[in-house]
Every structure is written in C-alpha cells, then in structure tokens.
Amino acid sequence: MSARDDRSKVAVLGAGLMGLGIGQVLAAAGHEVALYDPDPSAVTSVVERAAAVFELLDQDLDGLARIDATGELDRAVAGAGLVIEAGPEDLAVKRRIFANACAHATPGAVLATNTSSIPVAALAEPLGDDARRFLAAHFWHPPYLVPLVEVVPGARTAPTVAAEVVSLLSAAGLQPVRLAVDVPGFVGNRLQHALKREAIALVASGVCDAETVDAVSRWGFGLRLPALGPLEQSDLVGLELTLAIHRQLIPSLDTTPAAHPLLEQKVAEGKLGMATGEGFRRWTPEEAAAVRRRVTDHLVQAARRRSGRVASGGAAAR
Ligand SMILES: NC(=O)c1ccc[n+]([C@@H]2O[C@H](COP(=O)([O-])OP(=O)(O)OC[C@H]3O[C@@H](n4cnc5c(N)ncnc54)[C@H](O)[C@@H]3O)[C@@H](O)[C@H]2O)c1
C-alpha cells in the first residue's frame, strides 16, 4: 500500500491535541485511521473528543466509525500506507516511536513527523535506509480548522515521497505546501515569530501598548491576509514601492538576536498570559474565554465557507 492511495489506511502515533485533530480530518476525508497512544486515558477519550469535532463541523458522523483508537502500536501501523507521528516534542521519545514504527510498518509505508522544532535530519539520522521514506508533515492547530501542512523532506528522503504525501493531503481537503529545505520553524513559524519579535520590540520601546499592536494587526493588514499573502501584496502594490519602503524601514526594525528581554522578564515574573491572568495584556477568565470563542467561531466559519456550507458574504461577514 502507498501513501498515494486517497483512501489508504493512515496510522497516527500519539492521540493528544494534534494526533486527535489529524486523525479526525483524515477520517472525515474517508481514510481508515488508527490512533495509537500509550496513555489509556488518551485512547478511551478518542471517540468523545473526535465526535465533538464532527459535531462542531456538522460533518457526517459515519467518519467516526473509521477511527480505531488503540494502545497497541503494531496493530495501529499494520497495513497503513502513511504513519504520522504526533507524540511529545522530545527527540529521544520521537526516535523510539520511529524505531518501533519502522519495525512494524509495511515496507512501503511513508513515515512522517509532526514535529514543530526538531530538525528532520536529527530524526532521520538513526533510521538507516528507512530515512528514504521519512519526512516532516507539520500540521497546524487545530488541523480540522487550519488546513496548512508544511511537507518537508530531509536530505535522504526519496524524491517521490513528498509528492505522495502532498497528493494524499490535498485529496483530504488540506492545503499542503512543500519546502525544499528543512529550516528551524519551517516557513509558518518563521513568519509568525518574525512578526512577534517586532511586536514585542514596539511595546518594549514604548511606541505603543500591546492592545494597539493587536488592533493594528487585526484591523489593518491582518484583514487582507486570508485573501492576499505578503509577496502577492508586494506584487500588487509594485516592487518599486516595496523597495522604497524597505530602504526606509528595514534598518529600523528590531534585530534582537535572541528571545526579547521583555518576553524573558514576563516569564520570569510568572506573567504567562491568559492562564495566569496577565501576559502582554491583563485578562479576566471571562475575557480569555471570549477570545477563545472568537477564534474558534472565526475558524469554523472559514472552514464552512471552504467546504461551501456558508455562502461567501453570508453569516460570517455580517
Ligand atoms: N499543539 C500545537 O499547536 C502543535 C502544532 C503543530 C505541531 N505540534 C507538534 O505535534 C506533536 C504533538 O503535540 P500535541 O500538542 O498534540 O501534544 P499532546 O501532549 O497533546 O499529545 C502528545 C501525545 O503523545 C502521547 N505519547 C506519549 N508517549 C508516546 C509514545 N511513545 N508514542 C506515541 N504517543 C506518545 C501522549 O500520551 C499524548 O497523548 C509535538 O511534536 C508538537 O510539537 C503541536
């Protein structure tokens, strides 16, 4: 079996936040999904957690029957064309998971890691010939609402493997992109954290408060982002204008070569964000809950628009 088959079985190793979401989206797309976790409570809660997602998205509950939650890794990977690891972000644990997966998966199965930050090369190193069928497939949270998957081959990945994974994920309604080189943070987190670095520096230098940074982002360029990426926008306004702005602006942007001292200070003071009532801004539990609801509502409306269940310009736009 190959990961190229649009309905092939997929094994997801780790049934936490990301594993559950990855399993749900692939089961909804018609794949048989085995969700493995060594923690019995993660296994027994899969049906309830996945059902809540099917209901949130008004999806046919038939997909739930395609999810097999198990505490046995060999059973999970048996017959799977694609094995996606979504275990803890720990190199030693992930290496153990792949050693087990290689021992039990079918020889043609593709092996993917959902790591956020561990280099593909570090995970591929002990895999020997199995490195040819290994790559990163970095899903975003939650995978059933945020469709991007960054597919990142390592130096030894066979040329056809990334294409197979991209094809399977596209057929499942996701938006895979393929990177040529494995760099820390892939593309999405590099862009996101470049923006955060400047945002923190603006607050630290007294230009504006955190609320203003968020307002400028949400009500300014952020409104365009779902329709227009930054380089499309550069081409739209013209590169001469972009160049003129960069010549003026780039020399004054923050270049702190480490985590910003203001972020270090907040964490040292226990100001960890919504969970502790204060981070860059102050939060009551009600305000924090309202933000979570706002984000989920926004993403659900966007997912429904993508699947054609809310007419463009309908409820979400009012
Ligand atoms: N949370 C996010 O927003 C996000 C986004 C993208 C990628 N990731 C990455 O996805 C991976 C999982 O993150 P998460 O947020 O789902 O974490 P999580 O803690 O919610 O889930 C991890 C799961 O792995 C299980 N586990 C522990 N040992 C295991 C083993 N040996 N084999 C298989 N499973 C094992 C745990 O029991 C747990 O259920 C991490 O590598 C993380 O960096 C997370």
Q: Which residue, by CA, sits nearest to atom 7 of ligand 1?
A: 116
State residue 306's pLDDT score.
86
Tokens of 281: 């801004």
- Number of the ligand 1 atom closest to the C-alpha atom of 141: 3
User: pLDDT of 144-187, one tens digit each?
Assistant: 999 999 999 999 999 999 999 999 999 999 999 999 999 999 99
Cα–Cα dist 188/149, whole Å: 10
Distance 178 CA to ligand 1 centre (A): 22
Question: The domain at 10-178 falls in which architecture?
Answer: 3-Layer(aba) Sandwich (3.40)
**Strands 134-139 and 148-153, sheet pairing:** antiparallel
* Ligand 1 centroid – CA 219 distance (Å): 33
Question: Which of 42-46, 104-108, 242-246 is least confident?
Answer: 104-108
With a CB cutoff of 8 Å and minimum separation 6, the contacts of 288 are 274
10-178 shares its CATH topology with 188-260: no
> Is any ligand 1 atom within 6 A of the Cβ of residue 87?
yes
pTM given for the model: 0.94
Cβ–ligand 1 distance for 15 under 6 Å, the answer yes
**Per-domain boundaries in the chain:** 10-178, 188-260
> What is the spatial distance between Cα 88 and Cα 113, in angstroms, rounded to a whole number?
11
For residue 114 and ligand 1, the question of a CB distance below 6 A is answered with: yes
At the second CATH level, the architecture of 188-260 is Orthogonal Bundle (1.10)
Confidence of residue 113 (pLDDT cuts 50, 70, 90): very high
